[in-house]
């Protein structure tokens, strides 16, 4: 007989289908069970659209709708209690008279947290929380950053040789395999914005798109304070939303926006980071993937402004070149696996 944990795991699997489409909202999955049989399931599919609980209820066959009054609803996150882009899910659960609700995480927003569960309890619904709580929080770590830190979740990502080099100075150096490149494109899809420094933009001439994976392309961002990027650079091809932190360049731009970044002496050379985070917050970009180079990555480390580190390590040696950043001592290794010949490692804060 499946346990509550099994159904919550199913919720996580469904929730993950929203990756790349729902940020800065959380990824949420819901399963409705009656006598160990799944009557319906759903997930939050797109930002601003129906929540997981609504989709799960809608998926129940009309002949089985009366069973909702005897079913249990499992959900990876506490149902919402407020009028946002959609009506509160808790009202729907009460209307459908679902007698039992099991959730993994309560809403991280301290102003909201537990409110809808209290309403359900007050109406006589059996409520259980905290099922696989740690896993749920890990799944939605970007959402937790967005709510609790009030800024984008910052992922620092790079590829390095077996002896710890990012590449040779002044030349585009392939480090990892095409399979690892595909993984990077998946990460770009799941992020809302991807950032590179000036030298990476000039030397590598990256497209920063997600052509090797499906899903919405990220916002591209490059530093170009001195207008060094050639007008023929991929990042200035206007093919997808792009922010350039630097002077406006001649041309008719549809998708490219040039930000004048006012100097903030007090913050030294890294002043642009707080400016960028403010603009990302205003544009509701929940996840920022920083793809280097070494200088930019180091600036984020120096500010202790990071949430996650992802490193692709190739088995090949470069012997000399640009050194990869040092990992902060507090970084906790969460995942390690292989993609082709490369090793993928993922760290978070404790
Ligand atoms: N293996 C990987 O994952 C990976 C990823 C990315 C890049 N790379 C490699 O890394 C190399 C580039 O890395 P990098 O460390 O040399 O450069 P970078 O981090 O891409 O860019 C640093 C540059 O950005 C500009 N910049 C940064 N902060 C600034 C500020 N506050 N004010 C003005 N300008 C500022 C400066 O440009 P100026 O010096 O032009 O003024 C600075 O040199 C490339 O060769 C690339 O191939 C490897």
Check for a shared fold between 4-141 and 149-348: no
**Residue pLDDT, tens place only, 324-340:** 999 999 999 999 999 99
Residues in the chain predicted with pLDDT less than 70, given as ranges, are 264-267
Pocket of ligand 1 (CB under 6 A): 158-159, 166-167, 169, 172-173, 175, 196-200, 203-204, 223, 225-226, 228, 269, 272, 291-296, 322
Residue 193 main-chain phi, psi, to 5 deg = -150, 145
- Please tell me whether the peptide bond between 24 and the residue prior to it is cis, using omega within 30 degrees of 0: yes
Q: Residue 123 Cα, ligand 1 centroid: separation in angstroms? A: 58
pLDDT value of residue 14: 98
Q: Is 193 helix (H, G, I), strand (E, B) or coil?
A: strand
Q: Is 72 helix (H, G, I), strand (E, B) or coil?
A: strand
Query: Where do the H-state alpha helices sit in the chain?
Result: 4-16, 52-58, 89-95, 115-122, 133-139, 141-148, 178-190, 198-204, 271-282, 294-302
Question: What are the structural domain ranges in the chain?
Answer: 4-141, 149-348
pLDDT value of residue 269: 84
Residues with active-site annotation: 53
Q: Residue 203 Cα, ligand 1 centroid: separation in angstroms? A: 9
pLDDT value of residue 150: 96
- Dihedral of CA 178/182/188/191: which sign? negative
Q: What is the CA radius of gyration of the chain?
A: 23
Q: Residue 19 Cα, ligand 1 centroid: separation in angstroms? A: 29
pLDDT value of residue 265: 61
Domain 149-348 coded CATH 3.40.430.10: yes
pLDDT value of residue 267: 66
Residue from 292, 299, 300 to probe ligand 1 pocket by mutation (most atoms less than 8 Å from CB):
292
CATH of domain 4-141: 3.40.140.10
């Amino acid at each position: 007989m499946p346990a509550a944990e099994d159904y919550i795991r199913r919720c996580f699997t469904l929730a993950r289908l929203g990756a790349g489409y729902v940020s800065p909202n959380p990824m949420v999955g819901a399963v409705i069970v009656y006598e160990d049989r799944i009557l319906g399931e759903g997930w939050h599919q797109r930002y601003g659209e129906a929540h997981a609980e609504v989709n799960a209820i809608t998926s129940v066959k009309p002949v089985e709708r009366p069973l909702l009054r005897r079913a249990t609803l499992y959900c990876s996150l506490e149902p919402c209690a407020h009028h946002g882009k959609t009506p509160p899910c808790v009202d729907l659960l009460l209307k459908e008279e679902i007698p039992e609700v099991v959730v993994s995480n309560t809403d991280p927003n301290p102003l909201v947290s537990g409110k809808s569960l209290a309403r359900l309890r007050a109406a006589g619904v059996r409520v259980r929380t905290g099922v696989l709580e740690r896993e749920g929080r890990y799944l939605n770590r970007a959402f937790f950053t967005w709510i609790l830190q009030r800024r984008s979740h910052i992922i620092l990502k790079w590829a390095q040789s077996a002896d710890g080099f990012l590449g040779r100075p002044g030349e585009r150096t392939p480090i990892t395999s095409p399979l690892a490149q595909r993984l990077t494109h998946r990460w770009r899809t799941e992020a809302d914005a991807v950032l590179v420094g000036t030298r990476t933009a000039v030397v590598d001439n990256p497209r920063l798109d997600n052509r090797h994976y499906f899903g919405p392309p990220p916002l591209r961002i490059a530093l170009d304070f001195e207008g060094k990027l050639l007008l023929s650079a991929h990042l200035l091809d206007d093919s997808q939303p792009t922010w350039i932190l630097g002077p406006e360049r001649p041309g008719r731009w549809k998708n490219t926006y040039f930000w004048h970044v006012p100097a903030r002496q007090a913050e030294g050379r890294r002043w642009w980071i707080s400016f960028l985070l403010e603009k990302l917050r205003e544009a509701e970009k929940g996840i920022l993937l920083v793809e280097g180079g070494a200088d930019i990555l180091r600036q984020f480390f120096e500010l202790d402004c990071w949430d996650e580190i992802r490193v692709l390590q190739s088995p090949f040696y470069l012997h000399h070149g640009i050194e990869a950043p040092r990992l902060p001592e507090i970084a906790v290794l969460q995942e390690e696996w292989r993609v082709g010949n490369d090793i993928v490692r993922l760290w978070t804060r404790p």
